Structure 1
Amino acid sequence: MSTSHQPTRSGSASSYNSASLGSSNADGSLLGQASKWLNKGSVGDMLGRMTTTQKVVGGALLAVGVSALLRGNKSKASKASGAGSDAQVDTLNELLYFVNDRIEGYQRAVEESQDPQNTGYYKQLVSQSQQFANELNGFLRQQGGSRQDSTTVKGKFYRAWMDTKAAITGADEKAILGSNIYGEEWAIKAYEDALSDNTLRGPVRQAVERQYQHSKQTYNRLKGMEGKQE
């Protein structure tokens, strides 16, 4: 079973002000919302004005935002100091968090979709994502790393939010498809980040580039499916 990606934290979350949260690109929409709430006034005044729901959601947003910020800083520092196989291990580990998110996202779509054609396609994407993960984990073991089956905190939070939304409003094909498109955008960004830091070499890079192209093809097909629903 997958576990969420939890970075080692140093210091308290209070050391991060709204400016540092708002300026991070690691988790734009979530950090932006958290930053807006922080900028409304002092923490005490803000809590006094917030409903219970806002407090719960706001706390979750801040937790996800700080986790993403810490994870991003830790990853950048590690890659800056690493070289050769160590740098490739870091990059593969980071990418696998998002590939594992992709697996869980499409598994969720298979469970919720009532459209036989859509369900069949989502099952193909689960299988494809599992193949991607196995391939990357194979390279990871070759580089001396351990198998990575974890998912991101962001992905875990998003799926929990979607489950809550579905429980209240019900799951429909359009919402499921929209969630898949959003998840594929995350995957594409993760592949672009992995390829742009120039740590991957030879067969590893070729495999990541191939997976990246498949992810873009999937995104285009999902967008096409969305267009037919409108």
Structure 2
Amino acid sequence: MPTDTAKTHEVELAIKEVINVLIDGQKGFADLGEHLKDETLKRYFLAESLKRAQFRGELENELHRHGVADVHETGTTAGKLHRAWGDLKAKLSTPDDHSLLATAEQGEDEAKKTYKDALSQELPLPLHQLLSEQAAHILSSHDYVRDHRDALAKK
């Protein structure tokens, strides 16, 4: 049976993984949003980038409350590669909104998985509730991006 210290460390690692995927999402939404042609989608992507920053701040505050002094996460390697690939596609061609939304949905798939993994941990109730609320928003955002991508495919 894990000790309280080991359990605390597992929780910290899970939350840091979520923070990393939020950093990826924040940067990804901002980067992809710059290339979108549809003004409504551009605004949505900017708002989602800001929402990821807010979620990150909330989780960093929770880690601070639980004694983690410094949280210096930078995102995931996969997220950096994903953004680099999106940037390369944008530079080599004129990407359409459909392909940009497809790229965004892939990032949202990763965010959903990371939240699910974190929520499978034994978490303090307030932290579990916060993650659950954030995960619900991530799912809603994923579905919004997917639905708009699918609508563009039908045109």
* TM-score w.r.t. length of structure 2: 0.89
Q: Which residue among 31, 42, 46 is the counterpart of 1:123?
A: 46
Separation in structure 2 between the aligned mates of residue 210 and residue 224 of structure 1, nearest angstrom? 21
Mapping 1:4-19, distance limit 5 Å: none
AA aligned to 2:91 is A
Separation in structure 2 between the aligned mates of residue 169 and residue 84 of structure 1, nearest angstrom? 48
Q: Establish whether residue 140 from structure 1 lines up as the match of residue 53 from structure 2.
A: no
- Residue equivalent to 2:27: 104
AA aligned to 2:87 is D
- What per-residue deviation string (whole Å, max 9, x for no partner) do you get for residues 92-115 of structure 1? 112111111110110112221121
- Residue equivalent to 1:150: 74
Verify the 8 A CA contact 1:137 1:148 in the aligned structure 2: no
Q: Establish whether residue 184 from structure 1 lines up as the match of residue 108 from structure 2.
A: yes
Q: Establish whether residue 216 from structure 1 lines up as the match of residue 139 from structure 2.
A: yes
AA aligned to 1:129 is R
CA deviation after TM superposition for structure 1 residue 223, in Å? 1.5
Verify the 8 A CA contact 1:195 1:209 in the aligned structure 2: yes
Separation in structure 1 between the aligned mates of residue 72 and residue 55 of structure 2, nearest angstrom? 12
AA aligned to 2:71 is R
Tell me: higher relative CO, structure 1 or 2? Use CA pairs within 8 A at least 6 residues apart. 2
Separation in structure 2 between the aligned mates of residue 108 and residue 169 of structure 1, nearest angstrom? 16
Verify the 8 A CA contact 1:97 1:148 in the aligned structure 2: no
Separation in structure 2 between the aligned mates of residue 96 and residue 176 of structure 1, nearest angstrom? 23
Separation in structure 2 between the aligned mates of residue 114 and residue 208 of structure 1, nearest angstrom? 32
Separation in structure 2 between the aligned mates of residue 149 and residue 115 of structure 1, nearest angstrom? 32
CA deviation after TM superposition for structure 1 residue 84, in Å? 4.2
- What per-residue deviation string (whole Å, max 9, x for no partner) do you get for residues 39-70 of structure 1? xxxxxxxxxxxxxxxxxxxxxxxxxxxxxxxx
Secondary structure of 1:150's match?
A: coil
Aligned residues: 150
Verify the 8 A CA contact 2:35 2:90 in the aligned structure 1: no
CA deviation after TM superposition for structure 1 residue 210, in Å? 0.6
Q: Which residue among 172, 176, 180 is the counterpart of 2:96?
A: 172
Separation in structure 2 between the aligned mates of residue 125 and residue 88 of structure 1, nearest angstrom? 25
Verify the 8 A CA contact 1:86 1:143 in the aligned structure 2: no
AA aligned to 2:19 is L
What stretches of structure 1 move > 4 A for 4+ residues in a row? none
Give the alignment's Cα RMSD to 1 decimal. Answer: 1.6
Residue ranges of structure 1 left out of the alignment (5+ in a row): 1-79
Separation in structure 1 between the aligned mates of residue 39 and residue 91 of structure 2, nearest angstrom? 22
Verify the 8 A CA contact 1:132 1:211 in the aligned structure 2: yes
Percentage identity across paired residues of the two chains: 25
AA aligned to 1:131 is Q
* TM-score w.r.t. length of structure 1: 0.61
